[in-house]
Amino acid sequence: MIQPPSVDWQLPFEPKERLYSGDSGGRVTVREGTRKKPLDARIHLHRHSETFEWGRDNVGAAQLSLALLADALEDDPRAQQLQQDFKERVVVDLPERWTITRSRILAHVRMIEALRVHAGSGRQSG
């Protein structure tokens, strides 16, 4: 009987998608490949709150919005410009426990920026 060759199902590389997860205790972690760490609150950019919150519109949600954007975009000024819209569009609607990918965050950013351009093109100078 011929034996099939053994197959190694491990990927020859680590997937690079970054995942952000929030738990019911208000902790947010960042996972990329096998590495896992707490999300940096980015207090040095702006101190809305000492803690992260989501599911409501408050200062904890603003801090989470800024931290997620700063980490995902790797562009602090852009994160600061977008954090209010991102909070209103995404963070206030997160459930008690959640996971969002960096790709999804960047898709929301593209949508927010496109809506801003569209809204700006509708203005008339005067």
Q: Domain map of the chain by residue range?
A: 18-120
The pLDDT score that the predictor gives to residue 119 is: 85
The pLDDT score that the predictor gives to residue 118 is: 84
Ranges of the chain with pLDDT below 70: 1-15, 121-126
| Strand partners for 19 | 31, 101
The pLDDT score that the predictor gives to residue 125 is: 46
DSSP 8-class letter at 18: E
The pLDDT score that the predictor gives to residue 6 is: 60
Pairs from 10-19 (Cβ < 8 Å, separation ≥ 24)? 17/101, 17/102, 17/103, 18/71, 18/72, 18/101, 18/102, 19/99, 19/100, 19/101, 19/102
pTM of the model: 0.83
The pLDDT score that the predictor gives to residue 7 is: 56
CA atoms of 31 and 18, how far apart (whole Å): 6
Q: Phi, psi at residue 94, to the nearest 5°?
A: -70, 140
What is the widest separation between alpha-carbon atoms in the chain? 85
Pairs from 74-80 (Cβ < 8 Å, separation ≥ 24)? 76/42, 76/45, 79/42, 79/45, 80/45, 80/46
Percentage helix, strand, coil for the chain under 3-state DSSP, each rounded to 5: 40, 15, 45
